[in-house]
Chains A and B, each alone.
Chain A
Amino acid sequence: MENKLKKVDLIFCKTCQDDIEVVKKALKRNPDDIINEIIDSGLKGRGGAGFPTGLKWKFAKAQPSDIKYVVCNADEGEPGTFKDREILDQVPTKVLAGMAICAYCIGAKEGFIYLRAEYNFMLNKLNQIVEEFNSKMKEVGLNFEIQIRSGAGAYVCGEESALFESIEGKRGEPRNKPPFPTVVGLFGKPTVINNVETFVYTAMINHLGAQRFKELGTQDSRGSKVFSVSGDTPKAGIYELELGMTVEDFVKEFGDGDTKAVQVGGASGHCVPRKKFENTIIGFEGIPTGGSMMLFNSSRSMYNVLKDYLEFFTEESCGQCTPCRVGCQQLLKGIEAVKRGERPASYLEELKKLAQTMRIAAKCGLGQSVANPFISIVDNFKEEIIY
């Protein structure tokens, strides 16, 4: 079979655009036109949830408020994801340009980048770049200023409303939704929050036009996306790939010849076993991902993988809601008990039901998505869990 994997070089290309020029060009356009073009491009959020970016901007623009915010989500905490770090390190002004265009479109004067504490090593450099950018914005006549706020080691703060809480100086506990951020966001004001990578694509679409973007990908998953590849692979690293490939295509390129499973979307994503590689599309029509692709070869115990994930969630749950706080502990203790023979194998079925409850009853995406790895690993690797 021919390998359909297509590498793209839009994000990291340093010579493709002058970011200040891109903003200047945008300032000459009508905000509605910019937003419509983004809607037309089919761009969906690159942070995981995949909400259509243009629509998000449109909603925020429609809000009658003097104060609005643009927030860049650089909390990148999903295990196996490291592309936002690379983007901010390599092409930071592309991100800033995207934020500025967004601010212009929706009428925001302030922007925030929420940078996870683990990336503090680049804080000084980034602060400098942001300062320069801010003064450039003044020069080009855009009243918009960006600040960086640091996280402090809490995965859940990547969830948009928890992130707002954190900037506001509180515990990062996700809020009830609705209201959504575009209506009640940071400091209670209409807010657009996008992933680092999403902002880069918005700048690019503004620069190159929606058509260039639409040429890539599929009906449901337009464009390309940056993937973080790790695990059992000789080619661990960061790759920008066209969307719409199958896991099979992916494994051909990145596998070590012995790949037995790929975890698509990080700890909160799905595990795809070898027998499903061929029929599983990576993208919104199949399995969406914020970019994390983890490969496992046959030397790995999927029990250990699942246990690792569950330990992660047990610690990183904000702890406020019952299904997630207690559910995570029960799933973890449950598989351990089955492994030790303290509970029968049939207990896994009870746990799967529990995971289903978490999927529909937890307050935020964290608790809701624990079922993804749990059910996909238990279903596909039952023997490894039990014995």
Chain B
Amino acid sequence: MTDIQEILEKVTSKYGKQRSALMPALQAIVKEKNYLSDEDIVAVAKTFDLSTAEVYGTATFYTFLDTVPRGKYVIRVCKTISCHMAGKDEIIEALQKTLKIKVGETTVDKKFSLLTANCMGWCHKGPVMLINDEVYPELTPQKAIEIIQSYQQK
């Protein structure tokens, strides 16, 4: 796992130390570490000369900037209308069974977190899910399980 200072240096060398670099910094940390820990936010606050509460407040505004521990692969199933109509419930059901966790939880091996999210811009090909940045449209329960299995082998 990359050191937090390393991540921050990379971000600040590209985006500077103004507040406008805050989002890239938080995004970079989440990309590396899957979530923002107490200590990571302290490091960010120091770097940008902001209060920790301020950074925490900003991070929690954004659904993708998690402040609770998440697994290596964060699965987000779209729960909005088109995907709802196309059967997102069955997909979630199948994923919960396969991963043996409920929505909002993380597997014990810290490999997967199962979450729901709002419309992802693939409504014509619902149901759809994201695994980290990867998109998986036109899911069926079977397809979803197979995708998870391929990740389990990674």
- Do the beta carbons of B121 and A116 come within 8 Å of each other? yes
- Do the beta carbons of A315 and B58 come within 8 Å of each other? no
Inside 8 A of A167's CB, which chain B residues have their CB?
A: 20, 23
Say yes or no: is B53 at the interface (Cβ < 8 Å to chain A): no
Q: Which of A285-316 contact B (CB under 8 A)?
A: 292, 294, 300, 304-305, 308-309, 312, 315-316
Top 6 A-B pairs, shortest CB-CB distance: A153-B63, A169-B22, A236-B124, A152-B62, A153-B64, A230-B123
- Do the beta carbons of B63 and A169 come within 8 Å of each other? no
| A153-B117, A169-B48, A229-B124 known, 4 other contacts, Cβ within 8 Å | A79-B81, A79-B119, A230-B124, A304-B84
Q: Smallest distance from the beta carbon of B25 to chain A beta carbons, Å?
A: 9
Inside 8 A of B101's CB, which chain A residues have their CB?
A: none
Q: How far is the CA of A169 from the CA of B26 in the complex (A)?
A: 10
Inside 8 A of A318's CB, which chain B residues have their CB?
A: 61
- Do the beta carbons of A294 and B81 come within 8 Å of each other? yes
Q: Smallest distance from the beta carbon of A120 to chain B beta carbons, Å?
A: 4
Can you list 28 A-B pairs with a CB-CB distance of less than 8 A?
A79-B81, A80-B81, A80-B82, A117-B27, A118-B117, A121-B134, A123-B133, A149-B23, A151-B62, A152-B62, A152-B64, A153-B63, A153-B64, A153-B65, A153-B117, A168-B20, A169-B48, A170-B19, A172-B61, A228-B124, A231-B85, A231-B123, A236-B124, A238-B124, A292-B123, A300-B85, A305-B81, A312-B80
Say yes or no: is A232 at the interface (Cβ < 8 Å to chain B): yes
Say yes or no: is B24 at the interface (Cβ < 8 Å to chain A): yes
Say yes or no: is A104 at the interface (Cβ < 8 Å to chain B): no
Q: Smallest distance from the beta carbon of A292 to chain B beta carbons, Å?
A: 8
- Do the beta carbons of B121 and A82 come within 8 Å of each other? yes
**B contact residues, total (Cβ < 8 Å):** 36
Say yes or no: is A154 at the interface (Cβ < 8 Å to chain B): yes
Say yes or no: is A377 at the interface (Cβ < 8 Å to chain B): no
Interface string of A236-263 (1 = CB under 8 A from B): 1110000000000000000000000000
Inside 8 A of B64's CB, which chain A residues have their CB?
A: 117, 151-153
Say yes or no: is B135 at the interface (Cβ < 8 Å to chain A): yes
- Contact A154 to B61, CB < 8 A, known contacts A168-B19, A169-B20: yes
The chain B residue sitting closest to A85, CB to CB, is B121
Say yes or no: is A119 at the interface (Cβ < 8 Å to chain B): yes
The chain B residue sitting closest to A171, CB to CB, is B61
Q: How far is the CA of A153 from the CA of B18 in the complex (A)?
A: 22
Chain B residues close to A by CB (< 8 Å)? 18-24, 26-27, 48, 57-58, 61-65, 80-82, 84-85, 117-126, 130, 133-135
Q: How far is the CA of A103 from the CA of B26 in the complex (A)?
A: 30
Q: How far is the CA of A79 from the CA of B124 in the complex (A)?
A: 11
- Contact A228 to B81, CB < 8 A, known contacts A121-B135, A166-B23, A169-B19: no
Inside 8 A of A82's CB, which chain B residues have their CB?
A: 121-124
Q: Smallest distance from the beta carbon of B78 to chain A beta carbons, Å?
A: 9
- Do the beta carbons of A294 and B82 come within 8 Å of each other? yes
- Do the beta carbons of A231 and B121 come within 8 Å of each other? no
- Do the beta carbons of A77 and B126 come within 8 Å of each other? no
Interface core residue of B27, B62, B122, B125 (most chain A CB under 10 Å): B62
- Do the beta carbons of B27 and A150 come within 8 Å of each other? yes
